[in-house]
Structures are given as C-alpha cells and as structure tokens.
Amino acid sequence: MSALPAAFPEAAPPVRELLPMALRHLDAVFALETRVYGFPWTRGNFVDSLAAGHVMRVLLGPRGELMGYFVAMEGVDEVHLLNITVAPERQGRGHAVFMLDALVDVCRGLRCEHLWLEVRETNRRARAIYERYGFAHVARRPAYYPASRDTHPSGREDAQVMKLDLAVGALP
C-alpha cells in the first residue's frame, strides 16, 4: 500500500482537547495553579473537588501538554464556576471561552438555569472575558480573596459576583 498523496496529508493532531480531570492530571494542574496565582488552591482542594464529583476538565494541547483547566460545582438548578485557569503563555487565544462553552454545554445538560462565579475586582482581563460572554454583575463580596498587603492594606480583596442566565433562549 502506498502513502497518501500530498493532496491528502495525514490528519494533524488536534489543537486542543478537553478531558475530564483525573488524579493523573493533578501534578500538572497543581504546578500550573501555583505558577499562575499568588494565592493558589492547595493540592487538597483539587483532590477534594475530584472526590466530591465536581465538574472538572483539563485542556490539553496537541502534544498532551496542560494548557488550562476548570472546576465547577453543581447546585440545585445552577452551577458555580470555582476555578478556571489558562497557562499565561496560552492566554489570548480563546481557550477560556472554549472552556466556558464546554461548561455551558454541561450546565444545559444538567438543565441548570444559572452559572455563577466570583472574580477578583482587580482581574480586569477575566472580568472583560466574562462580560463579553454575557455574565452580569450581581453583587460584590467584600474581602473575599486573600491579597498582597502591598496593594491591599487589609490583606483581602473584594470579589465581583457574576451570573450567566442559561434559561432556554437566554443565550444564542
């Protein structure tokens, strides 16, 4: 059997793949978490989330490298996005929106009406992504996040609470 003609090159590896997070991913997830955040989740937070059955996905690149992940908790008629992270060198390429799309699909499959999240007030980039996606500001949680005393004398930072309506017809 001969090789495929040049007009039919072998299929390229997928640019990205979203898979359920498993214990085998935790070393890479925790390494990325501690690289990205000044106040990262602990490894135990991820282990507990897996044990609790939260919605958890890893975003892998064409060579199986970790590009991002998310963790979300199902509630009654709603889901709460607890953590979404994209590797700094991979940001600005639509990966966060790709993961949000996947999470919204999960939410719809669960027949949820709302997707909730908190985001640091100072995280303007993330807030802009959420706003463009359709999340609305609902409230502020004072002193919700730990913060550097260099920028926040109290050592705490406020969070913006945001909500995405998922009711039939609410999203395109």
**More confident position, 3 or 57:** 57
Per the confidence metrics, is the pTM higher than 0.85? yes
54, 69, 62: which is closest to 19 by C-alpha?
Answer: 69
User: At a CB cut-off of 8 Å and minimum separation 6, what does 60 contact?
Assistant: 16, 17, 18, 19, 66, 67
4 pLDDT more than 50 = no
| Range 17-165: architecture per CATH | 3-Layer(aba) Sandwich (3.40)
Per-residue pLDDT reduced to its tens digit, 18-41:
999 999 999 999 999 999 999 999
The helix/strand/coil state of 143 is strand
Residue 4 is given by DSSP the state: P
Domain boundaries of the chain, sorted by first residue = 17-165
Helices (H), 16-88: 26-36, 43-52
